[in-house]
Amino acid sequence: AGAIVHALVRARQIKKIQTAGDMVGAVKRAVGNNKETSGVLSRVFQALRIQTNDELSSLREGLEGARHILKPGGRLAVISFHSLEDRTVKQHMNGNGWKRITRRPLTATGSERDANSRSRSAKLRIAEKI
């Protein structure tokens, strides 16, 4: 991560990063252009999206809102798609007036992953308001 940050800072000193292509070029200079590069690029753009859209704060607000709206016995089901979301949901459901219904997150079966590749990272957690 440090090499990517330094590459982005260097790239910005030379020329303003204005396009996704500019960003890709800077990241490739940091990590090289090999088979792992696309995964690194995906994570870089995911991190930018999460930060730009303030997604984790929005998720926390939604979880807190659900806690206030649901009556005791009401259930909350949340599907998360990456580890930061899942950790946020898990921490919220541990205590905070919730009883976990699923001890571990439910994940897609092999046949579901074969039919729908996007389901591979999905985790479903369910909790009941107490």
Please list the pLDDT of the chain residue by residue as tens digits (130 residues): 788 889 889 989 999 999 999 989 989 988 888 878 888 898 899 999 999 999 999 999 999 999 999 999 999 999 999 999 999 999 999 988 999 999 999 999 999 999 999 899 999 999 999 9
List Cα–Cα distances, 84 to 11, 23, 24, 88, 108, in angstroms.
28, 23, 23, 6, 19
**120 within 8 A of 109, measured Cβ to Cβ:** no
HSE-up (13 A, CA, CB side) for residue 68: 6
The pLDDT of residue 36 is 80
Query: For the chain, which domains are there?
Result: 2-52 (no CATH), 55-129 (3.40.50.150)
* Measured distance CA(54)–CA(49) in Å, rounded: 8
The pLDDT of residue 93 is 96
* Measured distance CA(29)–CA(50) in Å, rounded: 23
Prediction pTM value: 0.78
The pLDDT of residue 109 is 95
